[in-house]
Amino acid sequence: MEVKLASSYGFCFGVKRAIKIAQENTNSATMGPLIHNQKEINRLKNDFNVGLYSSINDVKEDDTVIIRTHGIPKHDLKILKQNNTKVVNATCPFVTTPQQIVKKMSAEQYSIVIFGDEEHPEVKGVKSYGDDIYVVATANELNNIKFKYKKIATVAQTTKQKEKYLDIVNNLILKYKEIRVFNTICDATFENQAAARELSKEVDLMIIIGGKNSSNTKQLFNICDENTQSYHIEDETELEDNWFKDKKICGITAGASTPDWIIQKVIDKIEQNY
């Protein structure tokens, strides 16, 4: 079986930065999963004693708390700083940007539209920085919203598809006179999605590696699945023999929270067994 890797895949800048911060702060714990990859979280726990807080109520005075790459709600961050904890902020700078945009636009009395997943931790954090905020996944959802203000500002979850964001922006422009559009989808997402789309047109099947709860990995799967048979796995143990029957070329890409050591194990197993 011939294996082809996408030209851009895996760890993004924000994730690399967060992993480095975690490794430099041993005997600490993250507020929520640092990234959406359980195996890498397990490695940080085993090798660097970086634990995990499931609730802000678990944090004790003088604890070292690492803020996850996706950020946390503004109120939670305020509580941590007030409780004599050492706060180490590993929030991705690309996530901090929409937080500050929402804060500024809300102060200027703009209603805010966030293109994203309502339950995603990044979106919850961004939403906490403003007033009169609406989270939408599709342009159709805008039809049910009654905005408080006549001015609208938009931001996007950093891992979303730009084409779908454009649908939402175009819908708003047709209906409202003043729209502020901030493209907060990160460059790494653009590059990984474009590379996955290109490769999926050239191969017999695609393997997309990443956490099952990773938004950007799901986006990669959806893109690839439009062009060829695609499978989303977390590691090499999920590979199935029947996927590779009568196939010659396998394409591989990986989400922004997928470490190289997991990707290599998948490659090795495919090359050795199929």
Tell me the catalytic residues. 122
Separation between Cα atoms, residue 76 and residue 82, nearest integer Å: 10
Which is it for strands 151-156 and 86-89: parallel, antiparallel or unpaired?
unpaired
Residue spans of alpha helices (H) in 176-259: 187-200, 215-225
Rounded to whole angstroms, the Cα distance separating 175 from 138 reads 16
Give the CA radius of gyration of the chain: 20
Q: Which helix (H) or strand (E) holds 79?
A: helix 74-82
The whole-angstrom separation of Cα 78 and Cα 82 is 6
CA-nearest of 219, 224, 193, 218 to 206 is: 224
Cα separation, 246 vs 254, whole angstroms: 24
61: exposed, middle or buried (C-beta count within 10 Å: 0-12, 13-18, 19+)?
exposed
Please, what's the largest Cα pairwise distance for the chain? Answer: 61
